Amino acid sequence: MSLKDQITEDMKTAMRAKDMERLGTIRLLQAAIKQKEVDERITLDDAAVVAVVDKLLKQRKDSITAFEAAGRQDLADKEKAEAGVLQVYLPARLGEAEIAEAVRAIGAAFEAEQGRAPAAADMGKLMGAAKAQLAGQADMGQVSAAVKALLAG
């Protein structure tokens, strides 16, 4: 079963259970997926759906930070609940050690290809390779920190 089909089934289950918070979040996710499909005139595969979920999750995390800074704990809690629903549709995340290992491998491949160690100016190239390899598997903020650590040391 594809991820889109799983999301549709979860929506039906939430409707039957009358779980309005979960239903609202799933409908929001389906709307974002449909919008991307219409905008780009494509049918999204599982990897692209994961990218949409990742984007929505990042928006929720940013909102949580902003709401907590503004003292609006009620809205922050609502965003946290939505983030919890969205988290279910992401594959298992890599830990820091696994991310660091993957970034080291990307750095080694870059060094072999270019014949030199990566420098600070190569940050964009390394992040592009890391994003292609680790999309949906890791938080890109952690990947960026690992790439910076690789370039620094």
Domain count within the chain:
2
Amino acid occupying residue 9: E
Answer for the pair 99, 123: CB distance below 8 angstroms, yes or no.
no
Same domain, 14 and 82: yes
133 vs 20, higher pLDDT: 20
134 vs 82, higher pLDDT: 82
Same domain, 77 and 134: no
Residue 53, pLDDT above cutoff 90: yes
CATH assignment at residue 42: 1.10.1510.10
Residue 135, pLDDT above cutoff 80: no
**80 is in which domain, residue-wise?**
3-87
Same domain, 72 and 105: no
Q: What is the pTM of this model?
A: 0.75
Question: Which of 87, 109, 137 delimits the end of a domain?
Answer: 87
CATH assignment at residue 127: 1.10.10
Residue 114 token pair: 């270019």
Residue 22's nearest CA partner among 35, 33, 9 is: 9
30 vs 114, higher pLDDT: 30
The predicted model gives 85-107 an average pLDDT of 90
